[in-house]
Amino acid sequence: MDRDRLSGRSGACPDGSAAGDSPADCREGRGGGLSNTLLHTTAARSDRRILSDAGTFLGASWIAQAIGTIRSFAVARILSPDRFGLLQLALLVFEYARSSHGGLLFGMTKEASRAVGSGDESRLHRSKDVAFTGALVLGALALVGVPLFAWLRPDASIEARVAVGAGIFAALVHQVHTFYVALLRAQRRVGDASLTIVVFHASYALLAIVAAWRFGVTGVYFALVASYAAVSLLAWRRSRWRFKFSFDIGTTRGLLRRGVPVLVVTFLFRLISSIDKILVTHLFGLTGLGLYGLAKRAGGIAGGAAESVRWVTLPTFLEDVGRGSDPALHRARLLTIVGGMSFLLPPALATAALLCHLPLVWFLPEYVAAANPARVILLGAGFLSLAGVPRSLLVALDREPKLVAAQLATILGTVALVLFVAGRGGGLVGTAVATVAVQGLYAATVLALALDATGLGALETSKQVLRLLAPQIAVIWAVVAVGIHSSGSAASQPFLPWNWSWPQGVSGTVSAVLLVWIASLAIGAYCGSSRPLTGALRERSRGDRAEGPTRRTNDSVVGGPVA
């Protein structure tokens, strides 16, 4: 396969200019006498592809989230809250052990996407082989964490040690799956990547429910490992890539140089997403973690939807950087995607917050105490969701140091506020409120950093951040107002109370849902959050009619196998 086929273009420059033009000519749009307008045309096609890919991946993620929610409820019903807390401990270890590749896979993601953008096939193959070898070696070394935990915590139970070991081993198997999915992602083969996600959740749900019923929490650990092994085999077959074990000091150094900052950003984001669970384990024990973990699962549905959009946009940003695109194009894409999310997510999250107690009352009466924390987490899930795409842009532009500073401040702020609230009797709900409050500040900071990176002035950046966050804030106020009204008097129900009352009966629930939808959509329309998204959808419709089957053919070239 030649260089132009790799990048999906007819010429060496991203605007289709002659192959003999210099990189500077390509960046400035002078190749072959063509203007910079063609770069905007390329960006418009990328925007349309983002919408298509995001729709595909979002649909798969929602299916996976629905299956995962059913699995969580079924396993929680079989296990007691303390056994379910052990499972949450294993999953918590798994989350952090996933970073054992040391940044090599993240470096490969950057290198592969930029290689696709610049048409450098040799760079792509070199990085994938070295990353594959290094990730397996470092992942195997992570197994040292099992005896290390036993040495550091001699008082830990055998069950806790098994949970830690299962989490680390599952992360090792997960490395292989992550590697293949990263290559599919770099090639923009979103359909194949989506398939692996759905297959994993379906197989894990089936195996976990049977294993929990037959073997208890230990069986669920093995179900997790077996599911990742099966889906890794599927990803290998779908990718059609072949590898050789390779180690090159220069390539490894380059991958680490690009990947370690992303590893730090990703690790800190995982810490932001789970620091409350760590604190709950310390403050309220495994039973509290079991209740809070189920509440976090509810908020994870929204996070999964937002992660789908972020997952699709990062390769596009990286390819744009490889082409030398105008920062104004990054800004327009950022505002389009985040604006659409800020318009659509808040009312959906508020509806889920108003109704989340019903499945617990009907199916999991032992977990009813998780309802109020789940409401808070659902209401605040939009903040981290809106910060996902700006985080991708900052990573693509190599602005990780500023992002890391914001993340460290968020983690320290969360720890301080949670300890303060818990010390005053806040309980699980107070922990959730403190966490969401700090995450709101984090979202505003990351949005501001991303807009500043595109050259937007300070005043205009502030206006855009307020515009994007306004619907989310409006929904929180609307739902809190419903809780205050349902309690009978504002005096008996202080702002953000630890124990909320909620509308009873069909009419009250319907009225509450309508209230939050009207408030959210009205604020979103007033702030203009939906305008960039509707404009992009109209542009996509016009582009599809104008290009007909040609666009689909070009997409198949970009998304086809490289080797």
3-state secondary structure 359-414: HHHHHCHHHHHHHHHHHHHHHHHHHHHHHHHHHHHHHHCCCHHHHHHHHHHHHHHH
- The confidence score (pLDDT) of residue 471 equals 84
Rounded Cα gap, residues 419 and 125, in angstroms: 49
What count of residues does the chain have? 563
Quickly tell me which residue has 């086809």 as its tokens: 560
Q: Which of 19, 7, 18, 10 is nearest to 46 (CA)?
A: 7
Rounded Cα gap, residues 534 and 536, in angstroms: 5
Query: Are the CB atoms for 351 and 516 separated by under 8 Å?
Result: yes
- The confidence score (pLDDT) of residue 487 equals 53
Q: Which of 392, 303, 306, 255 is nearest to 95 (CA)?
A: 303
Q: What angle do CA 397, 399, 400 make, to 5 degrees?
A: 125
Which residues of the chain carry a pLDDT beneath 70? 1-55, 113-125, 142-157, 186-187, 240-244, 299-306, 308, 322-325, 483-509, 524, 526-563
Tell me the pTM.
0.68
Rg (CA), the chain: 24
Rounded Cα gap, residues 547 and 12, in angstroms: 22
